[in-house]
Amino acid sequence: MAGPKAQFATTPAKLGISYPQEDVHRLVSLVGAGQAARLLFGAQAIDGREAERIGLVELFSEDAPEAAEALARSIAGNELQSLGTLKRSIRLAARNIRQDDEQDRTFDQLLGSDAFVRQARGPSQAAALRRAAPALAGPRRIGQSAGHESALCPDCSAPDGRLRRPE
């Protein structure tokens, strides 16, 4: 998060040095090769709005401290296990890992959890969520072996879209 007074600069060329490859890789991953070259070769400072525009920071706010506090309150109000699992998912995705059995199992567990149902508004919606959870959970990849049930799998879904058990 950056505010109106934020300034960012990467100045190794001005100092006559380089950066470790891991740091350059991280910068290129954030802003792309062209913007990384501009920042590294030009050694010029950019402001918070430009940093947001190129992807160096996620958010720009005229009142960055208040915006950061509001975001922190929002995160703190969420379920801890969900946050941990999502954090792991993001790390896996950043390493270009598209599928992970442990993440899928955790998703299935959380989908049927009390924390998920607690977020429902009223007993009838909670009951509907509990009934829907098995249809939403489980393997979601087409072409997997039978023995699972998923509303998104052509082997498990009837033509009318209802869940059916594979034969």
Q: Is residue 156 part of a domain?
A: yes
Q: Which domain holds residue 93?
A: 83-134
* Domain co-membership, 104 together with 146: no
Together in a domain, 128 and 93: yes
Residue type at 62?
A: E
Please give the structure tokens belonging to residue 55.
């992807």
Domain termination site, one of 75, 94, 124: 75
Task: State whether 20 and 68 are in the same domain.
Answer: yes
Percent of the chain with pLDDT over 70: 71
pLDDT digits (tens, 9 = 90+) for 92-116: 998 999 999 999 999 988 887 877 7
Q: Does 106 lie in the same domain as 162?
A: no
Conformational region of residue 120, where left means phi above 0, alpha means psi within -120 to 50, and beta covers everything else: beta
Q: Is residue 28 part of a domain?
A: yes
One domain for residues 69 and 117? no
- Output the pLDDT for position 150: 41
The reported pLDDT for the residue numbered 25 is: 94
| pLDDT of 40 | 97
d(CA 63, CA 71): 12
| Model pLDDT, residue 128 | 67
Q: Which residues of the chain are under the pLDDT cut of 70?
A: 120-167
Same domain, 101 and 67: no
Quote the CA–CA distance of 130 and 146 in Å, as a whole number: 23
Residue 128 has phi, psi (to 5 degrees) of: -65, -40
Which pLDDT score, from 0 to 100, does residue 35 have?
Answer: 98
Nearest to residue 57, comparing CAs of 65, 46, 43? Answer: 46
Please check whether residue 2 lies inside any domain of the structure. no
Pair (59, 113) in one structural domain: no
Check whether residue 63 and residue 106 sit in a common domain.
no
CA torsion sign for 39, 40, 41, 42 is positive
pLDDT of the residue at 137: 53
Q: What's the number of domains the chain is made of?
A: 3
Q: Is 150 exposed, middle or buried (0-12, 13-18, 19+ CB in 10 A)?
A: buried
90 and 57 co-located in one domain: no
81 contacts 116 by C-beta, under 8 angstroms: no
**Long-range contacts of 141-145, Cβ-Cβ distance < 8 Å, separation of 24 or more:** 141/99
130 assigned to some structural domain: yes
Cβ atoms of 45 and 54 closer than 8 Å? no
